[in-house]
Structure 1
Amino acid sequence: MTEHGVALVELVIGSVRADPGRLLHPYNTWDGPWVAGEPSPVTPPDAFPSGRPLSPALRRWLEFDAGLLRRFGWFDDGGRLTPRPLAEIAADAFGPIGKTYDSPALAERFAECFLLPGGSDSRRVLATGPADALGEYPVFALDVDDLPCVELMYPGLDVYLAETAGVIEVDRAGKSYSALKEDARYAQRMREHARGFLNGEYHEDFTAW
C-alpha cells in the first residue's frame, strides 16, 4: 500500500529521529543536517498569508520540527510564514539570469512560494495554489542550465520529504525532473497539479512567459 500525506510524513519522521544529524543531501553539505541540534516543533498556523490552508503534510512536519524550514527562510523572527514570489526566489538563487522568471505569466500562478533544500545548479520550490485531493501543494524544480524553466517535480511536501529521506525510492535514471508522472503511486496527483499550475503540462520554459 502506498502511503501519502500525513502517513508518509510519519515514516519520514521515524527515519529522521533515528539519525537526526545526517546530511539532507550528501552531495551538498551546504543544505546541512535534517535537524541541527534538537527538533524545534511549533504549533502550525491555520493558513498561509494568502488564506490558503496549510497542507496536512506541512502541518505534521512543523509539529515535529520547524528548524529545517526556518533555515531556508520560511519564517521571520516572529515565527510568521514568509512566502515569496517565484521571481524573487529565482533572482536570489540564480542572479541575473533568474530575472527571467519575473514574468506576468508566472506571477499569478506562483505568487506564494517557499524555497526547499535540494539541487546544485537547480532549486526546489513549494508553491501554494490549487491543492490536490489530499490538500497538498506541489514542489517544482527551477533550472537555468539550458533554458530557464519550471518543472513539476513532486505532488506534495510529503513525497519530497520521503524521497529526500530515503523512505521511498524513485527511478530517475535518464528521466526529467517530472519522473513521478510515470510512477503509478503518484501519477494521479502529478496530473492534478499539472492541470492546476501548468495547463496540463509538466514543464514550462521561458519561451512561454
Structure 2
Amino acid sequence: MRFGLGRFKNRKLPAAPPLQVRLRGDVAAEVDAGPQIATLPKVEQISDFHCVTTWSRLGVRWTGVRFADFYHTIAIPMAEPDPQARLVVFHGLDGYRCAMNLDDLLASDDVLLATALDGAPLGVEHGAPLRLIAPAHYGYKNVKHVVRIEFLKSRRGYRFPLPYPSLMDHPRGRVALEERARFLPNWLIRPIYKLFVPKAVRKS
C-alpha cells in the first residue's frame, strides 16, 4: 500500500516506473537526466524521517546519489540552470510536487536522490524509481516518484498542489526550527496536524 496524502497515494502507478527525470525551468536546455543519474556513485546513509504531522521514523537506511553530485555533475553542464534559479521544484509521477531552496539542497551531503531503502530497490509504495531524501526537512518536502526537476528564478512559476499553501507549504520546512506553517504558530498548527496522523502510526 502506498503511503501519503489520499489524493496522490490512490493514483495508479506502474509497479516499476522507468528512471526518467526531465530537467526544465529556467535552464538553457531541457534534458532527460535519468541515464546520467544512474551512472553517479551511490552512497548509503542512515537518517531520520520526520513527518510534519508530528510522527517520526528513526534510523532509516537509504541508498542513492548525493543531490550535490547530481547538481554539479549533471544539472549544471547539461541543463545550465540560470545562476539566479535558486528554487528547485520536484515533480512526482503521481502529480505531487514540492519546492526546495537550492541552498538547502546543497547545504548537506545527506540530501539524496534515493533509489533504495534498507538495501532493496525502492518499491512504488516508497517512491520508485527515485525520491528526494532531505532529512533536515519535513517529509512532505521529500517528493516521491521524481520524474521532473525544475530550476526557477521565482516562486511565481510554482504552485503547491493542495489548498491553503500558506498553511501546508512552508518555504523551507526545516525540522529543527519546526517550520510547519508559514504564518501560523506551532502551538496552533501542531494539534491540527496531529489529526492527520495515520491510525497505523498512532497504534504503534
**TM-score, structure 1 length as denominator?**
0.31
**TM-score, structure 2 length as denominator?**
0.31
More helix by share: 1
More strand by share: 2
Greater relative contact order (Cα 8 A, min sep 6): structure 1 or 2?
Answer: 2
